[in-house]
């Protein structure tokens, strides 16, 4: 089961630790955030203890109106065994009662100066990205003209060499050999490289290449939305390949359907240029310009015009 540790969000969002240091390794399994307003009033019947607890100006302003005994009671109940972390936002002063209860139970308390609503959005985006369903695929992910292109195919077909040529032409490498893919929203797949091989490209006969050091920071990208899949396969003389592009194929990755093209590989074909054109053509189709459909319409019109002429000649006879 995917999780994020408290120390992960502390570093990622630049938060300050106020209490409960021994609990920084606690795991967060849900992207939902709780703002315990009713809990500050004493209603804990449906308290979602397993979520990140976010205390902002509203919650703490009400909390400060309570009696001392009530304050201690609220914070002791807020710091349950299942509570992963409590975050105080908007630069509000962390209550002494919260620090005491957190230290006693080992619940980490973090604080930030960011306004509550804005921070809630930042934290939700971060957690949803990290906790999204994930899978891995063998392939190469490149950013071509802003389009995330996932190159697939059998080992040795030339995926990495094609990616190298694309980088030399000004495009960016995201991942080589193994691509981690997260479904962060409906029909939205984000791909990245595992930390171990980030920025690395394998070329048979040469070995591993550090693309960032070799070509500069502009040659790599940490992650990219996958928009199109291009499957490279060795040319088969007995197979009929799509020559017009009217039949759009798709590939299902988790619950998302991605447009898929099959490009045959044989000596003499410039794959990098073909992939550039495929990326540009995909963008044009999304803008409503489809060359294949336009050709089909022209052909149908020409056939219809020729048929009308034949019918007219038949009537004259």
Q: How far apart are the C-alpha atoms of 165 and 159, rounded to whole Å?
A: 10
Instruction: Return the SS3 of 132.
Output: coil
Pick out the chain residues at pLDDT < 70: 1, 243-246, 292, 308-317
269 is catalytic: no
Alpha carbon distances (Å) from 209 to 140, 198, 223, 226: 14, 11, 19, 23
Q: How far apart are the C-alpha atoms of 303 and 316, rounded to whole Å?
A: 20
Q: How far is CA 83 from the centre of its chain?
A: 27
27 is catalytic: no
Per-residue model confidence (pLDDT) at position 294: 76
Q: Which of 73, 177, 283, 285 is the catalytic position?
A: 177
Q: Tell me whether strands 223-225 and 188-192 are parallel, antiparallel or unpaired.
A: antiparallel
pLDDT tens for 294-305 read 777 777 777 777
Q: Tell me whether strands 109-111 and 134-138 are parallel, antiparallel or unpaired.
A: unpaired
Per-residue model confidence (pLDDT) at position 301: 79
Q: How far apart are the C-alpha atoms of 176 and 59, rounded to whole Å?
A: 47
Provide DSSP, 252-314.
EETTEEEEEEEEEE-TT--HHHHHHHHHHHHHHHHTT--HHHHHHHHHHHHHHHHHHHHHHHH
Provide DSSP, 79-93.
S-TT---EEE-TTPP
Cβ-based burial of 179 (10 A; exposed 0-12, middle 13-18, buried ≥19):
buried
Closest CA relative to residue 31, chosen from 129, 109, 133: 129
Q: Which of 243, 252, 266, 315 is the catalytic position?
A: 243
Q: How far apart are the C-alpha atoms of 157 and 161, rounded to whole Å?
A: 9
Per-residue model confidence (pLDDT) at position 305: 73
Phi first, then psi: what are they for 309, rounded to 5°?
-65, -40
Q: Which of 10, 159, 221, 224 is the catalytic position?
A: 159
224 is catalytic: no
Per-residue model confidence (pLDDT) at position 28: 95
Per-residue model confidence (pLDDT) at position 246: 66
Radius of gyration of the chain (CA): 28
Buried b (16+ CB within 10 A) or exposed e, 96-114: ebbeebbbebebbbbbbeb
pLDDT tens for 137-185 read 999 999 999 999 999 999 889 999 999 999 999 999 999 999 999 998 8
Cβ-based burial of 230 (10 A; exposed 0-12, middle 13-18, buried ≥19):
buried
């Amino acid at each position: 089961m995917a999780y994020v540790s408290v120390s992960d969000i502390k570093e990622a969002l630049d938060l300050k630790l106020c209490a409960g240091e021994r609990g920084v390794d606690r795991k967060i399994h849900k992207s939902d955030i709780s703002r315990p307003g009713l809990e500050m009033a004493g209603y804990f019947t449906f308290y979602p203890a397993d979520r990140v607890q976010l205390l902002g100006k509203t919650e703490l302003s009400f909390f400060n109106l309570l009696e001392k005994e009530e304050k201690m009671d609220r914070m002791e109940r807020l710091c349950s065994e299942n509570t992963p972390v409590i975050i105080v936002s908007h630069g509000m002063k962390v209550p002494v009662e919260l620090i005491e209860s957190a230290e006693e139970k080992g619940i980490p308390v973090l604080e930030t100066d960011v306004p509550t609503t804005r921070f809630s959005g930042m934290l939700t985006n971060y957690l949803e990205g990290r906790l999204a369903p994930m899978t891995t695929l063998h392939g190469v992910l490149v950013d071509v003209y802003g389009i995330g292109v996932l190159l697939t195919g059998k080992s040795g077909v030339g995926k990495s060499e094609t990616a190298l040529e694309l980088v030399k032409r000004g495009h960016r490498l995201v991942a080589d050999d193994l691509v981690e893919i997260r479904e962060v929203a409906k029909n939205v797949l984000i791909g990245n490289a595992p930390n171990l091989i980030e920025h690395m490209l394998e070329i048979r006969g040469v070995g591993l290449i550090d693309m960032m050091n070799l070509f500069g920071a502009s040659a790599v990208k940490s992650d990219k939305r996958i928009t199109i899949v291009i499957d490279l396969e060795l040319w088969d003389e007995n197979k009929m390949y799509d020559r017009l592009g009217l039949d759009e194929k798709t590939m299902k990755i988790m619950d998302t359907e991605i447009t898929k093209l099959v490009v045959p590989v044989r000596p003499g074909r410039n794959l990098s240029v073909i992939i550039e054109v495929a990326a540009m053509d995909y963008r044009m189709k999304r803008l409503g310009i489809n060359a294949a459909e336009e050709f089909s319409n022209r052909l149908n019109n020409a056939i219809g015009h020729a048929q009308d002429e034949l019918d007219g000649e038949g009537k004259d006879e």
